[in-house]
Structure 1
Amino acid sequence: MAENWTPSSWRQKPILQVPEYPDAAALAATEAQLASYPPLVFAGEARRLKKHLANVAEGNGFLLQGGDCAESFAEHGADNIRDFFRAFLQMAVVLTFGAQLPVVKVGRIAGQFAKPRSSNVENQGDVTLPAYRGDIINGIEFTEESRIPNPERQAMAYRQSAATLNLLRAFAMGGYANLENVHQWMLGFVKDSPQGERYRKLADRISETMDFMKAIGITSENQPSLRETDFFTSHEALLLGYEEALTRVDSTSGDWYATSGHMIWIGDRTRQADHAHIEYCRGIKNPIGLKCGPSLQADDLLQLIDILNPANEAGRLTLICRFGHEKVAENLPRLIRAVEREGRKVVWSCDPMHGNTITLNNYKTRPFERILSEVESFFQIHRAEGTHPGGIHVEMTGKDVTECTGGARAVTADDLQDRYHTHCDPRLNSDQALELAFLLAERMKGGRDEKRMVVNG
């Protein structure tokens, strides 16, 4: 157990991005109620994820992490969850083939309700109200009543997370994730995509591989791994009262785990070494993510690594780099070199979303070309440094929204108004997300071919 740590020791530290609840007694009552509820996930599941991530840290796997920018109460439904899971599985299959490595599947789902904000207030005309901080805290409607932080929303978020997890577990283990299903969905995407001819070669190779497996008797009927998949959940651990209420001792090990999700991460705005969010996360045994932006200095990163992963345990810590496509080259190499110099074991993941947000026609958007550019730079730099580009972290949906511009269907600034549904930041739609996976798989395959040529002289 971490020294001088309890699930509530964060309360003695400075804290940022925290809502001001007007009714402290109601907040305490809600947190006490949550503390009596069953865990959403189990310690053994979090340990299994950590083991998978340890393989990624050692260069023997790849992390795909993605999902909603912010989950909402209004859009919760089986169809939305199914459509996300369907798009996510297709991405995972394409990346598995491109990397020739197992892909660890972690959703931003079943808990991704709270959002850090750049301002505490929002202005519309002459009216100023508290900022929307996610459905777990307040409402998105621009009214005084809606924007008051309401602790009852935490119980609503718990119930929605439980329902979402129940459906995801059924999808992952009940046959929906059958590789043959995913393969057919992927072929449908290739057939309908304006860039389908480009992706057909990779899709045909996947088809040939599946035909070969079937020919030698490896099918979903006799191989459970072809009809089932491990799927894990994650979210930003922002609302620490909620996290504390769902922090439990594992009866088999005596260690503390966050049971709100398998993996939680610390945002770029709340990663101060002496503040509450780092204090909370240092004491739980779950895999932890740390967002790394352009302002993070190498020495500060090493200090945070020492706090969060003092045992230098592979799989414990994932560094989620979010620089912006124009700032990767000046920031990523210095962090890689510092971590390598000190021999720290981490997973390197690329978040190409948060540094590439612009405004067009009064809509926040993210150009697909900038997203792809940041991912490509991330891979090129790791190749040059001799380190493993271990994952990507994307905001996406399974729906046909128009929130990010570009991609094969060339979403324009004028198209943004058509289906702009996000409660917070713009997301890749299902086609854009799968397109990103295909393009990344192409580059992964190219990198493997280069290595093979070097080895063979």
Structure 2
Amino acid sequence: MHAEHTVMSPDSWRRLPAAQQPDWPDPEALRAVVAELSDYPPLVFAGECDQLRSRLAQVTRGEAFVLQGGDCAETFREVTAEKVRDKIKTLLQMAAVLTYATSVPVVKIGRIAGQYSKPRSKPTEVRGGVELPVYRGDSVNGLEFTPESRRPDPERLKRMYHASAATLNLIRAFITGGYADLRQVHEWNRDFVASSPIGERYEDLAGAIDDALTFLAACGADPGEFHSAEFYSSHEALLLDYEAAFTRTDSRTALPYDVSAHMIWIGERTRRLDGAHVEFAARVRNPIGVKLGPGVSADEALALIDRLDPAREPGRLTFITRMGHDKVRDVLPGLVEKVTASGAQVVWLCDPMHGNTFEAPSGHKTRRFDDVLDEVRGFFEVHRALATHPGGIHIELTGEDVTECVGGGDHVAVSDLHQRYRTACDPRLNRYQSLDLAFQVAELYRERTTSVHQPGPRIASVA
């Protein structure tokens, strides 16, 4: 089954064009940093990657649901116990709601501990007649608009490693230290329902969870799963020199794993079949994700499956669709239909963020909560109509009370964007918007399960 991963070296990607790589001013300095990183301890272990792949295999069978979320772009200054705690707290709260509503395990994957690099549409940025390299994430250069800050510096790759290691240490400490206890997480959700302007919408669901926990406690049931949680890290594998430095051969399997994260994904801008990113991902054993925008064809998707999952191994490949709320009902059906007909067993995730970005009159890049929700709704409608499994959601969020996306129950107006707009790149849902989305996704999933044996709507009629 694994022969495809050993035919060529993990470094075979170096012979192919690599999009979105920084223009490092000192190639020798880069080589020295990469050589040093190659001796650093792994951030994750191959066995953990295998465990995630088995959890994702459950998703392909409709036996689990994925919640993947975190920052658009992490920054070094935000690696603090408080900020990491708030992100994990938000994801755990969302997962608790989704677990109850779906009645299946929720696979929790953070866009965290490595999401320090961002693809950009242009290599430079002009302000006031001054042209400088564009900000590509803290792993490459600084956000401040100065020549010194914007100069790509390979030393930042070492900072990225240390920041990722610190973040993973904090996550493990919070989860093993009781922070993931289901009863505590549910109490947080009860506080949200009580304090949110739209909390009454979710009182029934929160009450049902409360009743279930009370019943289990009365029965003396206290399984270990109530007190801890599995949590996995992921990021876009954009900077291939960094990813290659953490590609290690596992002593158990003699196969290469990228031990910078449990799961890595290929972005919409770097998924060329003849490109270096697809080649790199094809040579490592991690679970792999691929972002698919509205311009993708079914033939491209099938070709990506042939390259990245030739053995058709459940849990190996995840398609993260980012269509936009106005296109998802038109584009997604043909894609899901043909991939399913091919016999491939992929995980389908909905990224409702990236296809719904617009610029506010103030110049802030933002997203409407209603558009985000509508794309998720369309994603569920398509899968219900085709009798396939809507495997999960992939969102950009923060545990902070930011004003970056407009709308949601705790309404953020366009005129509010300037108040707490803190993202280093793309706008994120704040904690209240994230929990609002989780409760609404829970309702969508419950609607799906109650109508799973009924004929689905015609896709054209719901567009």
TM-score (ref. length: structure 1): 0.97
Q: Which residue of 2 aligns with 1:424?
A: 425
Alignment of 1:435 with 2:436, yes or no, is yes
Shift of 1:452: 7.0
Alignment of 1:348 with 2:351, yes or no, is no
Q: Which residue of 2 aligns with 1:415?
A: 416
- Aligned-pair identity (%): 53
How many residues are paired up? 451
Q: Which residue of 1 aligns with 2:460?
A: none
Q: Which residue of 2 aligns with 1:198?
A: 201
Shift of 1:7: 2.4
AA in 2 matched with 1:182: V
User: 1:192-251 CA distances to partner (integer Å, 9 max, x unpaired)?
Assistant: 0000111101000000000001000012xxx21110100000000000000000110110
AA in 2 matched with 1:9: S
From 108, 116, 126, give the equivalent of 1:105. 108
| Unaligned stretches of 5+ residues in structure 1 | none
| Unaligned stretches of 5+ residues in structure 2 | 456-463
SS at match of 1:421: coil
Separation (CA, whole Å) in 1 of partners of 2:450 and 2:355? 31
Q: Which residue of 2 aligns with 1:27?
A: 30
Question: 2:384–2:452: 8 Å Cα contact kept in structure 1?
Answer: no
From 147, 159, 162, give the equivalent of 1:159. 162
Separation (CA, whole Å) in 1 of partners of 2:77 and 2:177? 27
Matches within 5 A, 1:291-330: 291-330=291-330
Separation (CA, whole Å) in 1 of partners of 2:70 and 2:87? 7
Separation (CA, whole Å) in 2 of partners of 1:252 and 1:380? 43
Shift of 1:451: 3.5
Alignment of 1:65 with 2:68, yes or no, is yes
Question: 2:352–2:372: 8 Å Cα contact kept in structure 1?
Answer: yes
Q: Which residue of 2 aligns with 1:397?
A: 398
From 170, 174, 177, give the equivalent of 2:173. 170
Separation (CA, whole Å) in 2 of partners of 1:150 and 1:97? 46
Question: 2:387–2:452: 8 Å Cα contact kept in structure 1?
Answer: no
User: 1:370-398 CA distances to partner (integer Å, 9 max, x unpaired)?
Assistant: 00000000000000011000010000000
From 50, 53, 67, give the equivalent of 1:50. 53
Alignment of 1:276 with 2:288, yes or no, is no
Shift of 1:4: 4.0
Shift of 1:72: 0.2
Shift of 1:341: 1.5
AA in 2 matched with 1:155: K
Q: Which residue of 1 aligns with 2:86?
A: 83
Shift of 1:445: 1.3
Q: Which residue of 1 aligns with 2:188?
A: 185
Separation (CA, whole Å) in 2 of partners of 1:323 and 1:422? 22
Alignment of 1:125 with 2:155, yes or no, is no
AA in 2 matched with 1:115: K
Separation (CA, whole Å) in 2 of partners of 1:148 and 1:4? 38
CA 1:249 to 1:3, structure 2 compared with 1: closer, same or farther past 3 Å? closer
Separation (CA, whole Å) in 1 of partners of 2:51 and 2:173? 18
User: 1:389-437 CA distances to partner (integer Å, 9 max, x unpaired)?
Assistant: 0010000000000000000111001100000000000000000001000
Task: Give the stretch that moved more between structures: 234-243 or 6-15.
Answer: 6-15
User: 1:334-382 CA distances to partner (integer Å, 9 max, x unpaired)?
Assistant: 1111101111110000000000000111100000000000000000000
Q: Which residue of 1 aligns with 2:253?
A: 253
Separation (CA, whole Å) in 2 of partners of 1:113 and 1:214? 42
Shift of 1:5: 2.2
Separation (CA, whole Å) in 1 of partners of 2:198 and 2:224? 33
From 92, 104, 117, give the equivalent of 2:95. 92
Q: Could you say what the CA RMSD is over the residues aligned between the two structures, in angstroms?
A: 1.0
Shift of 1:3: 5.1
Shift of 1:76: 1.6
Separation (CA, whole Å) in 1 of partners of 2:6 and 2:164? 31
